[in-house]
Amino acid sequence: MDGDRQAQDRYVTVDGLHLRVIEAGQGPAVLFLHGASLGSSADVFRRNLPAFARAGFRAIAFDAPGFGRSDVPADHSLAYRRALVPKLMDALGVKTAALVGHSQAGTVAVALALQHPSRISHVIVLGTGSLLPPLPGSPPRPERNVPDREPQIADTRAALEATLVHRELATDEDVALRHGFCTGAQFAAAVARAAAKEPPEGPPLWQRLTTLSVPLLMIYGRQDRAQAAERAALLKETYPQLDLRLVDKCHHLVPWDAADEFARLAVEFLNRSSPLRGA
């Protein structure tokens, strides 16, 4: 792998917080946003960044505040994490970026594209259940819960493997790294996030997807949880103009289970949709 394509860690300061950034490649910026599960971090995308770098993009992932090796914020709301993204882009010298949002971060990416269309060139959503409509007659989805105690490493492995079809991808090294982000200050931050109340902000985002003024690609695993495949089919039936792909042998952790297919679909989408070269 070329040296300039090798993912490198560094830190930037935003809102007085030190945020860890992993970056590879040069070209139009693609900013990767990880989900909110306990232990999640920019490392979710570490195996994906080189493929985007080879395709001519500046691939950037970062630990959101309160996750991974980034500082813990005073404000644990999703609204704060969303508002931080344009500030991070400023700190990185990025005027315009494509956003890739996994799990809960898919809603962050879509909301930012609605709020700041001049700064977001594309949106790619990976496995975001809240951007899918409920099935008729289905009960409300339960709220995200945090364990009442810090997990043991066996708990971390079980939780990670539960998001994968290819469970062998959860190596001992991966589990140990993720477990290190599940305890101490990160666990306390997860508890605080779960307690943060998020006021409703109008109609569900899935009902506003077709109002986006930037290109949108949605990728889901066919074996994902919460009847995602059926709900994705319902969304596509409701809005047939959406570019929505179901990937077989893929659960919730799309960047791992379907790393090659994700990169292929995403790079084709970014190139087809005329990325802003040099942005």
- Distance set, CA 15 to CA 22, 78, 123, 188 (Å): 19, 15, 25, 20
Cα separation, 153 vs 175, whole angstroms: 7
pTM score of the predicted model: 0.94
Per-residue pLDDT tens over the stretch 262-277: 999 999 999 987 544 4
Token couple for 258:
């379907």
Low-confidence stretches of the chain (pLDDT < 70) are 1-6, 141-145, 274-279
Tokens representing 275 are: 């990325």
**pLDDT, position 66:** 97
- Location of structure tokens 């010298």: 93
- Domains with residue ranges and CATH for the chain: 3-134+214-272 (3.40.50.1820)
- Which residues sit opposite 19 in a β-bridge? 12
Cβ-contact 268, 233 below 8 angstroms: no
Q: Which residue has the tokens 């090294």?
A: 173
